[in-house]
Structure 1
């Protein structure tokens, strides 16, 4: 299960078979274990796919190890809905920012150091994709588990409870963390690992800034609804991801309105935000 090219000894991935427009090849369930120890930490058990969850539990058991806890990067069901069944399978508590997702344990605090049988993880709050999004820094391997904050390919959607301003701050915070720690890889919630973290984060930040410019230009050109803006800015995208594109446009418009870049006279547009 080792991921070739990541340089990590402690992290391995079990891919959930739930591919789709929003999940890419499927959800990456990350299994973390300090070399020589028996304790395992599982990040994002995944959706309620019993075969996948049983496969993860069986893989750990076959290694002569035990799941000490499961951690959730955020509340979306493709990462979290299987957590309760996984906890029943393994007896492991589930830790999450969202109190409703916690099982037999507490929350996750920004900057908190999680220690499990010699394994050390640092919690990094990265709201934006969702309000409760977090990443996990694994310093011993110089990698960061990014959930949906940074994907292996493509870009993430800003959910209704997230926010573009917070997301941009989170991207810049991750970039600073990568620069300071010289992190070698990002381990995402979907898609392949990224072995050039600085370039990936620069790409993500640049992409968002470009989209903001495109949305601003679309509004100035007469696009006054999210659907009209998507038709201009995201022309040719798959119909399956149009709702996600409209959600992203709304997030961008809220951000622009907060900066005063949406003219007050466009009241109908503001009302849709």
Structure 2
């Protein structure tokens, strides 16, 4: 397995962990400008020896970055550090190994590229996106699970927040117009700004559907009842994720909405 190039400086390697929540599998990104002596790996993925061996072979790996805490992104971090010695940095200190936590607005210069860290919470509280700029290339935005290559992401329990997520979409729209988006699941996004606007419209449409459900079921209706009303056509394999998103929608309408 070798990483698949998207630009001269950004490649991806997909792990063999497909599923309802991971789509075709977690895509690790490998960042290295032409001629740079080392690379940066973003999201090592699951603890899969073949996948980690392939990422290590793409090295030398000088740094590992994490977009958020979920195990399909982080479980491979210790194994990749063992293979390469590279420090692992994440917004959540729990997922740092030999490196400092990532900070919103921080700029990292490594592997011949410039990486700007953007806090984009909502899917999880620790979610970040990364704007990658290489000499002579248009910037590319790594979105983790905040924006996927197909479908929509879950507002994940226990720390997901729809209010934060809508603000994160605003952030990504500001930086993503006309730029390539590289999600951790699914294919790349030709114009991230267009995708973000579609995501926002979908979220607002779902909110309206929840409002209608509450008008029918009563303002104190629980999550399960609202899921059955709004997501009746959802595949059972993702019904749990729908429940998490509905819980976030109800919290937004009852507590967070202006």
Which TM-score band applies after superposition, normalised by the shorter structure?
A: over 0.9
Counterpart residue number, 1:270:
none
Q: What does the per-residue CA deviation read over 1:153-184, in whole Å, with 9 as the maximum and x for residues that have no partner?
A: 000001121200000000011101124xx4x2
Residue aligning to 2:222: 225
Secondary structure in 1 aligned to 2:11?
Answer: strand
User: Helix, strand or coil: the match of 1:221?
Assistant: helix
Q: Give the counterpart of 2:155 among 144, 158, 169.
A: 158
1:232 to 1:96, Cα distance in 2 relative to 1, 3 A: same
Compute the TM-score of the two structures, normalised by the length of structure 1.
0.88
In structure 1, how many angstroms separate the alpha carbons of the residues matched to 2:193 and 2:156?
Answer: 24
Any idea what SS the aligned residue of 1:187 has?
strand
Q: Structure 2 matches for 1:1-273, cutoff 5 A?
A: 1-3=3-5, 6=6, 8-58=7-57, 60=58, 65-140=59-134, 141-160=138-157, 161-179=159-177, 182=178, 184-222=179-217, 224-259=221-256
Equivalent position SS for 2:150: coil
CA distance in 2, matches of 1:9, 1:99: 31
Does the residue aligned with 1:56 lie in a helix, a strand or coil?
A: helix
Tell me, in whole angstroms, the C-alpha distance in 2 between the residues paired with 1:260 and 1:109: 27
Task: Report the Cα distance in structure 2 between the residues aligned to 1:221 and 1:259, rounded to whole angstroms.
Answer: 22
Length-normalised TM-score, structure 2? 0.93
Q: 1:103 to 1:254 in 2, by over 3 A?
A: same
Question: Could you say what secondary structure the match of 1:255 adopts?
Answer: helix
1:83-119: CA deviation from partner (whole Å, max 9, x where unpaired): 0011001111100111111111101011111011422
Pairwise CA distance, 1:134: 0.2
TM-fit CA distance, 1:229: 1.1
Distance 1:99 1:198, change over 3 A: same
Whether the aligned pair in 1 keeps the contact of 2:40 and 2:111 (CA below 8 Å) is no
Q: Which moved more, 1:140-149 or 1:127-136?
A: 140-149
Structure 1 position 259, deviation (Å): 4.6
CA distance in 2, matches of 1:211, 1:49: 36
Moved more, 92-101 or 49-58: 49-58
The structure that has the greater radius of gyration is: 1
Unaligned runs of 5+ in 2: none
Deviations 1:14-62 (A, max 9, x none): 100000000000000000001111110000000111121112112x1xx
Structure 1 runs of 4+ aligned residues shifted over 4 Å read none
